[in-house]
Amino acid sequence: MHGVYVNGKRPKSKKAVKEAVAADPRSVRLEATALLGQEYDGPASEMPVGRQIAFVGPCPYTARKFYGSIFRRPDGTLRVA
């Protein structure tokens, strides 16, 4: 599970992530949490096409209160579920 930041801060809800992706995908940063592996780490706007990334928040280490995923469609748009 990835961590997520919106404008450099941990979001309070999945709704906040969804709204931020709709408004400005560059404001959403995905944080790789695995010690080993090839996880994506960077802005949602730069995610590879066809990739789905699961996230947890507000903090993947201490507070897992909501879960979601971000998918980058073949046309480049992002969907939060």
Distance CA 54, CA 26 (A): 18
pLDDT tens digits, 52-81: 999 999 999 999 999 999 999 999 999 999
- Answer yes or no: pTM beyond 0.85: yes
CA 2 to chain centre: 7
**What would the two tokens of residue 55 be?**
């996230």
Distance CA 29, CA 7 (A): 8
The count of structural domains within the chain is 1
Residue 46 is predicted with a pLDDT of 94
Whether 43 maps to a domain, the answer reads no
**What would the two tokens of residue 18 be?**
């969804």
Whether 12 maps to a domain, the answer reads yes
**What would the two tokens of residue 38 be?**
């090839």
Q: Is 50 helix (H, G, I), strand (E, B) or coil?
A: coil
Residue 36 is predicted with a pLDDT of 83
Instruction: Give the domain extent around 63.
Output: 3-34+48-80
Whether 42 maps to a domain, the answer reads no
pLDDT tens digits, 3-60: 999 999 999 999 999 999 999 999 999 999 988 878 999 999 999 999 999 999 999 9
